[in-house]
Structure 1
């Protein structure tokens, strides 16, 4: 008598995380439309019913994915700031590290999450960045800076870097800047770091 090998059963929280990771991959690659129950099941290596068991339907899956992606972005940004606080005092180093997160594809994910309806809850996702940069302004000799100004500077940097992987090459071309995508992005990042440091009160 033939017996099929039993498949190890994952704990519910492990199974959910595995499915959400597959959904996140599809979201980053093809946007919200790519996140379909069958496609997620195929990528996760499980049945459609397995996905439905944990999330009921596509709406439930997207709702969970929105929270999952937002939490992941927040954790990555917080870890980047923590590492910076423990090592380098130069804010240019922090800005360059944050830009590295966008180059890993998380800008597309963030835009897709917002398009899907995700909005931040609780403290702002960049709050730790604002706090770290604002505290650095006091130690740099700048007298009593307004935290609203710091928030506006961080928001401008975030907006520019988050959209650069998606639109930066075309926007630069429209201004007469040619060259490869990587070269253009590097030039733009160096310029944004310089502008951001000046806006925060640092002289080059």
Structure 2
């Protein structure tokens, strides 16, 4: 079962257009990257794409609360890592079966890190990273849905390329919507 967000939002809040636009742009980047992760066999670049899928998802979550966006200073990877640690300690990823320090594990696959780690069993590592990407992104999307409301969130989903909508995104969106109506 997916974890509930760490800060429930009782009703959708009015969203400023730049916040919505920045969040949408970053979610579209996250979904496109995740789509390619899911398509690929476990190849070296697939692992760095898993890192970027969650990285863009983190940034979308930050944009949704106005922490980054137009006219705001962009956060470094280290600053995002700090925010993730804070969210972990506040329970955002509780009940998700994510390993503690999962972002640190994903950061090992950052293309900026040279050399890349040696993977003993690429297929098993690929499956593990895919579960982390799915869980992290779903947690962030659930919070964004609560923040923006169902109508705004569905507009963002509808802006995604059709190949993404027809695969994992439709299934995850339905699961998140169902979960939000049950809570």
Q: TM-score, normalised by structure 2?
A: 0.29
Decide which structure has the larger Cα Rg and report it. 1
Higher relative contact order at CA 8 Å, sep ≥6: structure 1 or structure 2? 2
